[in-house]
């Protein structure tokens, strides 16, 4: 009973449910890689013999990387989380998980991430420290740059290209385009999420787009980033995956982008959690579902 409670505390520490943002895009990258190997006369390995194992390794990489990033963010931000009424109930400031144990958790997950990439292929293994640097570096950026949202977007955008590399061992344009979708989409909705801490961040010399530009202008920046996301989605549909199945997913994804901006207004940010968690989670899952179907069929 105590063990299961401890597990639940660590799952809460890393907001495990938020894995739903990037994981579906990793599945897109994996599927693109799988299809690419079918067209290759000399694939890098006998994919059918190890497809399920490779998919499991990709999923584990996603979990370990995200656990590392989120736990490190909570560890680094302990001082600020204690001061902020919104975050004071989190596991570390509330004393549920100690800082030392959180750091140990980070180190274990970093090592597991690197070890897992070793069993995937050489390029993923060599690039694993780079990926870890990006996702861990984000936690420091809010201390010196309002562009911290873009660094978060960059970290999550590694999902589709990373999964594609796991299968093929090389870079290609299409998975990079999906990474750009993730980059602009995540950066945009993180700006909206940061609206609720605008006053606290300003008082504590923390940087963000809302602190730099104010609420209304920050929302314009978020709108612009999501317009770019929508533009890239449409470009992918026109140039690469133009089936009706893809366009259904594209319409759903873009529609949910619009919906979250209707939920959050300059004079009313009370629905941020609905826009941030629920809407974006649904958008990611449904978009990936239709995209994967369009790739396979």
Task: Write the pLDDT tens digit of every residue in 39-61.
Answer: 654 444 444 557 889 999 999 99
Q: Which CATH architecture has domain 2-296?
A: Orthogonal Bundle (1.10)
pLDDT value at residue 12: 79
Domain boundaries, given as residue ranges, for the chain = 2-296
Task: Write the pLDDT tens digit of every residue in 191-228.
Answer: 999 999 999 999 999 999 999 999 999 999 999 999 99
Report CA-CA distances (Å) from 87 to 81, 83, 129, 206: 5, 8, 30, 15
Q: State how far the Cα of 132 lies from the Cα of 29, in Å rounded to an integer.
A: 19
The whole-model pTM stands at 0.93
pLDDT value at residue 40: 56
């Amino acid at each position: 009973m105590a063990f299961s409670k401890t597990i639940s505390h660590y799952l809460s520490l890393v907001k495990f449910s938020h894995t739903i943002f990037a994981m579906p895009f990793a599945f897109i990258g994996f599927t693109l890689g799988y299809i690419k190997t079918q067209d290759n006369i000399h694939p890098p390995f006998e994919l059918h013999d190890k497809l399920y194992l490779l998919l499991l390794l990709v999923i584990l990489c996603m979990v370990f990387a995200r656990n590392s990033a989120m736990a490190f963010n909570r560890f680094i931000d302990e001082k600020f989380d204690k001061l902020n009424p919104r975050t004071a109930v989190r596991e570390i400031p509330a004393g549920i998980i100690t800082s030392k144990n959180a750091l140990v958790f980070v180190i274990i997950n970093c090592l597991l991430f690197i070890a897992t990439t070793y069993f995937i292929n050489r390029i993923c293994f060599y690039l694993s420290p780079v990926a870890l640097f990006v996702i861990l570096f984000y936690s420091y950026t809010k201390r010196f740059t309002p562009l911290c949202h873009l660094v978060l977007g960059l970290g999550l955008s590694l999902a589709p290209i990373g999964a594609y590399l796991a299968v093929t061992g090389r870079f290609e344009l299409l998975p990079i385009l999906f990474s750009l979708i993730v980059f602009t989409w995540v950066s945009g909705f993180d700006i909206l999420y940061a609206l609720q801490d605008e006053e606290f961040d300003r008082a504590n010399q923390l940087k963000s787009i809302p602190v730099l530009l104010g609420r209304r202008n920050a929302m314009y920046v978020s709108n612009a980033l999501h317009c770019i996301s929508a533009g890239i989605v449409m470009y992918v549909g026109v140039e690469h995956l133009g089936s009706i199945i893809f366009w259904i997913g594209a319409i759903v994804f873009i529609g949910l982008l619009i919906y979250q901006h209707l939920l959050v207004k300059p004079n009313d940010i009370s629905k941020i959690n609905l826009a941030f968690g629920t809407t974006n989670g649904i958008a990611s899952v449904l978009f990936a579902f239709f995209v994967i179907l369009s790739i396979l069929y």
